[in-house]
Structure 1
Amino acid sequence: MDKLEEKKPEVEKENGKYIKIKKFHFVLSIFFVIFITAGITTVALTFGDEPAQPIQQIIQNRKEFNKLYSAYDTLKEKYFTEVDDEKLINGAINGMLEALDDPYSDYMNVEEAKSFHQQISSSFEGIGAEIQSHNSKIMIVSPIKGSPAEKAGLKPNDYILSVDGKSLQGMSATEAVMQIRGKKGTKVELMIQRGENAEPMKVEIVRDTIPLQTVYAEMRDDGIATVQITSFSEKTADELKDSLADMQTKGMKGLILDLRGNPGGILGQALEISDLFVPNGKVVLQVEDRKGNKEIYKSENKKELGIPVVVLVDKGSASASEIVAAAVKESAGIPLVGEKTFGKGTVQTAEDFKDGSNIKYTSAKWLTPKGNWIHKKGIKPDYEVKLPNYSELTYLSPEQEYTISSSSSEVKVAEQMLKEIGYNPGKVDGFFDEQTALAIKKLQKDQKLTENGILSGDTTLALMNELREKIQKNDTQLLKAVEIIKSQMK
Structure 2
Amino acid sequence: MDDKTKVDPEQNNEPQKEQQGEPGQEIKPAGKYIRMKPFAFIMMIIVLILATSGVTIFALTFGEEKVVEVRTPTHSEFQKLFNAYDEISKGYYKDIDTNALVNGAVDGMISALGDPYSDYMNKEEATQFNESISSSFQGIGAEIQEKDGHIVVVSPIKNSPAEKAGVKTNDIIKTVDGKSLDGMTASAAVLLIRGEKGSSVTLEIQRGGADKLITMKITRDEIPVETVYATMEKDKIAHIQITSFSDNTYKELLSALDEMEGKGMKGLVIDVRQNPGGLVNSVEDIASLFVKTGEPIVQFEDRNGKKEVVTAKSGRKVKVPVTVLIDGGSASASEILAGALRESANVKLVGEKSFGKGTMQTAANLPDGSNLKITIAKWLTPDGNWIHEKGIQPDYKVNYPSYASLPYLSPDKALKEGSLSDQVKAAEKMLKAVGYNPGKADGLYDASTTVAVEQFQKDHKLKVTGVLKGDTTYALMEELRLKIKKDDPQLKKAMEIVKTEIK
TM-score (norm. length: structure 1): 0.87
**Corresponding residue for residue 384 of structure 1:** 397
- Partners of 1:399 and 1:102 in 2: CA distance: 38
SS of the residue corresponding to residue 121 of structure 1 reads coil
Letter in 1 for 2:235: D
Q: CA deviation at 1:125?
A: 0.3
**C-alpha displacement at 1:433, in angstroms?**
1.5
| 8 A contact 1:278–1:301 mirrored in 2 | no
Aligned twin of 2:179 = 166
1:69 corresponds to 2:87: no
Q: Which has the higher helix share?
A: 2
Q: Residue 101 of structure 2: which of 88, 91, 98 is its match?
A: 88
Q: CA deviation at 1:112?
A: 1.1
Q: 1:236 aligns with which of 249, 258, 267?
A: 249
- Note the C-alpha offset of 1:324: 0.6
Alignment match of 1:478 (pick from 477, 491, 494): 491
1:449 to 462, 479, 491: 462
Corresponding residue SS for 1:222: helix
**Residue 400 of structure 1, CA deviation:** 2.0
What is the letter of the counterpart of residue 336 of structure 2? I
Q: Which residue of 2 is the match for residue 57 of structure 1?
A: 71
Residue aligned with 2:71, SS: helix
Asked if structure 2 preserves the Cα contact closer than 8 Å seen for 1:277 and 1:301, the reply is no
Shift of 1:465: 2.1
Q: Which residue of 2 aligns with 1:371?
A: 384
| Residue of structure 2 equivalent to 1:49 | none
User: Which amino acid letter does the alignment assign opposite residue 160 of structure 1?
Assistant: I
**How far, CA to CA, are the matches of 1:110 and 1:58 in structure 2?**
29
CA deviation after TM superposition for structure 1 residue 401, in Å: 1.4
Pairs within 5 Å for 1:310-325 = 310-325=323-338
Partner of 1:301: 314
TM-score (norm 2): 0.85
Please give the alpha-carbon distance, in whole angstroms, between the structure 2 residues aligned to 1:275 and 1:448.
50
2:268 pairs with one of 234, 238, 255? 255
Tell me if structure 1 keeps the 8 A contact 2:128–2:191.
no
**Larger relative contact order (CA 8 Å, sep ≥ 6):** 1
Deviations 1:105-138 (CA, angstroms, capped at 9, x unpaired): 1111111112223444321000000000111110
Alpha-carbon deviation of 1:198? 4.2
Structure with greater strand share of residues: 1
> Structure 1, unaligned stretches of length 5 or more?
1-53
Structure 1 Cα separation of the partners of residues 131 and 431 of structure 2: 44
Amino acid at match of 1:176: A
Gaps spanning 5+ residues in structure 2: where?
Answer: 1-67
Identical aligned residues as a percent: 55
Query: C-alpha displacement at 1:378, in angstroms?
Result: 0.5
**Are the equivalent residues in 1 in contact too, given 2:288–2:317 (CA < 8 A)?**
no
Choose which of 341, 363, 379 in structure 1 pairs with 2:354. Answer: 341
For residues 11-410 of structure 1, what are the structure 2 equivalents within 5 Å?
56-59=70-73, 61-410=74-423
2:443 matched residue in structure 1: 430
Determine helix, strand or coil for the equivalent of 1:58. Answer: coil
Q: Deviations over 1:265-318 (max 9, x none)?
A: 111101010011111110011111111111111001334322110000000000
Letter of the structure 2 residue corresponding to residue 482 of structure 1: M
For residue 430 of structure 1, report the CA deviation from its aligned partner: 1.5
Partner in structure 2 of residue 28 of structure 1: none
- Report the aligned-residue RMSD: 1.3
8 A contact 2:339–2:382 mirrored in 1: yes
Q: 1:476 to 1:119 in 2, by over 3 A?
A: closer
For 2:346, the aligned partner's letter is G
Paired amino acid for 1:411: V
Distance, in Å, in 2 between the alignment partners of 1:158 and 1:282 is 37
Q: CA deviation at 1:55?
A: 6.0
- SS for the counterpart of 1:57 is coil
**Contact 1:412-1:428 at 8 Å conserved across structures:** yes
The number of residues matched between the two structures is 436
**Structure whose CA Rg is larger:** 2
